[in-house]
Structure 1
Amino acid sequence: MIDPTMRLPAEWEPQAAILLAWPHAETDWADRLQQVEATYTALVAAITRFQSAIVLVANDSVRQRAEQCLARHCLPASRLRFIEIAYDDTWLRDSGPITLRGEGGFVLNDFRFTGWGGKFEASQDDRIVAGLVERGMFRQARHQHIDWALEGGAIESDGRGSILTTWNCLHLRHPTLERAHVEEKLRNTLCASRVLMLDHGYLEGDDTDAHIDTLARFAPDDAIVFQACSDTADSHYDELARMRKELESLRTANGMPYTLHALPWAQPIIDEGRRLAASYANYLIVNGAVLVPAYGDAADNEAADRIGAAHPGREIVQIPCRPLIWQNGSLHCITMQLPQGVLAEPPAD
């Protein structure tokens, strides 16, 4: 049963904080830890210019390392908080809470996290939301455990009842379910009125099975920002062209076509013979700004300009994300926004 008072906010609505987890030697970042720490440092420094960042740390030594990396930026102490908790890796978009808000407070949707369909160990990540609840991090929020696999990167919300997703990802998570059943589950758990599901779109090097946040993103004023491919010789060209046609055929809840913003295509980035998934669509919206991935590519600035055009009135800040795509994700994948009002006051030191 859908609760008409609840909804999944759009990412551009007011936020309390951004949640992320610091990489360390026991995560998959171990081989290139210093490079990825530089990205995390730039990211946290950018976030705290605009709002709070909550950084999960596995233990005290990881916290000390994070503090050491961040010390050079003189960050405002009131906007940085550390919470000690166990985690397998740092992809909090997929293991963090999917937070609904309504007239009476919030619901922390805690879907089952399976390591993207059992590809990786995820037992500690699957307990992160419950662990944060136990630590008293939230207020006026009901923790709702849902024994159904869904990752935050697999869904986009316009804040008004529309969910954008991809069939490939959800079908692979739930191969025995019919499409109608999957859509019904999304509507019920996310309190949505409709589900827009794409059949096309993928990126080489992406092990999430086509998360929507690497392909197409809702933007204000009935717009969609999407990753295009202009290189006819590239292996992505046909599939992303088909995705574009799908997006052109979508209609808003009022029956109008969406305004589409196409993102430029970065040149292939190859690492030890493996192509990496360099998507500009994997950006993060914060209060007053949009943090956009930069890959050291000639298209970086054009991508930032186009994302800025889709989110007018916000400052655009580029974050060096090339180290992140080594592990098949980017900026949006390692973060999760928390809506304004959901956080409890942190305990006094």
Structure 2
Amino acid sequence: MDVKRFDAVDGLRGGLAVSVLLSHLVGSIIGWSENRPFVGAYISVVYFFIMSGFVLSYAHAKGNFIKYCLTRLARLWPLMFISTVLMVILYKYNQYHGGYVSSLDVFSPMVFLKNILFLHGVYWYDFKLINEPSWSISLEFWISLLIPLLFTRLNFIIKVIAATSVFIALLYFYRSGVPPNLLTAFVSMLIGSICYDLTKKIWFIELLKDKFFSIFVLFALAVCCIGVYGQTHNILDYFYIVAFIPLMFVDFLDPETIIYKILTYRFFIFLGYISFPLYLLHESVIISGFLYRRDSVFLAIVTGLTVSIFVAYIYARYVDFYLYKYLKGQIKKLPF
């Protein structure tokens, strides 16, 4: 069974991006209480790592490594740079007009440089994140380089043993919840790569054809939604990570199954299309302040959500599509 486009995974990615947006939006309006809706959206970021490991193992299992690195830069860096610049501009505007400024460090040229060079999580000193959601982009970039170098070269059993060992180590040393570090990105993307390997095994494809497996995947989705909505940092984080694994196979289910239809519904496909800019640009909408009224929580959330989706669509449709296409074209022309 060969799947060339993971539409359901894209739809799932879009829904998770919205959960991160809602978590930050609700927190900025009503406060950062652990009782707020979507407080567990940090788990969505771990899910992003797993999905990236899965999709990148499919798309970049072979080919020139340097071109692969440049392609990853072309995918991640432009929006990372643009969103960081936009945040600095908005913070400067807020500074002059009495608005919110997270820290004066956001105006430091050195801090700006560290932000755009993907140093978060790999640099030996902590520094201020100008665009808070960008922490995961740095980790994803560096670990994604291991996919053609290591993940797609290792024996399946060795990969399973490595992922299990690191997962147990995280569980042992970080019992207060999954940490936002390189180890988490490593094991998550390795799990995604293992999931892709499973789709190449005949016995597993036969298992996916069982009607009860689709029910199991639907149940896994419900469990993950509960975690994203209400989970707080504790040892249950690891349970919710494991619960997400069955969802990686949704594109290999019968297209008539309920869960496949849900995740490939046009609205979710649209959210998947704008998921990356939605993830990195929503913070600029939040800190702008003037785009929504704080005296009405409902109106503030609806307006912030609507504006964030609109901004993400504009970027995806009129900037990202053409920019990424151009950069990929230039990379392909390189004489190596």
Q: Say which one has the larger Rg.
A: 2
| TM-score, length basis structure 1 | 0.29
What is the TM-score when the length of structure 2 is the normalising length?
A: 0.30
Which of the two has greater helix per residue?
A: 2
Higher relative contact order (CA 8 A, sep 6+): 2
Higher strand share: 1
